[in-house]
Amino acid sequence: MIDDIKKDAQSRMKKSLEALHQNFNKIRTGRAHSSILDAVTVDYYGGQVPLNQVASINVEDARTLSVVPWEQQMVPKIEKAIMTSDLGLNPASAGNVIRVPMPMLTEETRKGYIKQARQEAEHARVAVRNVRRDANGDLKSLLKEKEITEDEQHQAEEAIQKLTDSIIAEIDKALESKEHDLMQV
């Protein structure tokens, strides 16, 4: 029982960390990276489809992405989808290739992105703490039902706290790395 609670807590905390990394990928730095366009969806035969399912996305150089649609008629739809996304990108098409230049980040936009990254990290910390709270609540209910002893409960709570501390340390490390990336010119 206690092991199940620990494993569940660990897997949920890891998912929070993975979600943080995905959210960090959406925050663009000055460099081109194909994961920046992961959140962009395109109208494809009446349905919204992720961009990477209708085109190949490649990094041409440090500041340019190239998007090559698999169907020629998708070029204007993809251009429009990239422009209307909240990424601040202006694609330019040349035949069937769409080039997406990454604009230089100003000091003001860098600070805005850092603020956004800190908010994402705080959301991840809160999610991890909520998982800890749920696990500790499950342990208390097991104690009430006399399925475990107080010593077992305390040992399990300590193990969950260590797990929480290690995941939060990973979140802080990821945030520090993202801030470093954003501040590089």
- For residue range 130-167, what is the model confidence (pLDDT) as tens digits? 999 999 999 999 889 888 888 988 999 999 999 999 99
The residue-averaged pLDDT of 100-124 equals 86
Buried b or exposed e, range 87-114, using 16+ CB within 10 angstroms? bebebeeeeeebebebeebeeeebeebb
pTM summary value = 0.71
Q: Say what the pLDDT of residue 28 is.
A: 67
Closest residue by Cα to residue 137 from 156, 165, 164, 124 = 156
* Length in residues, the chain: 185
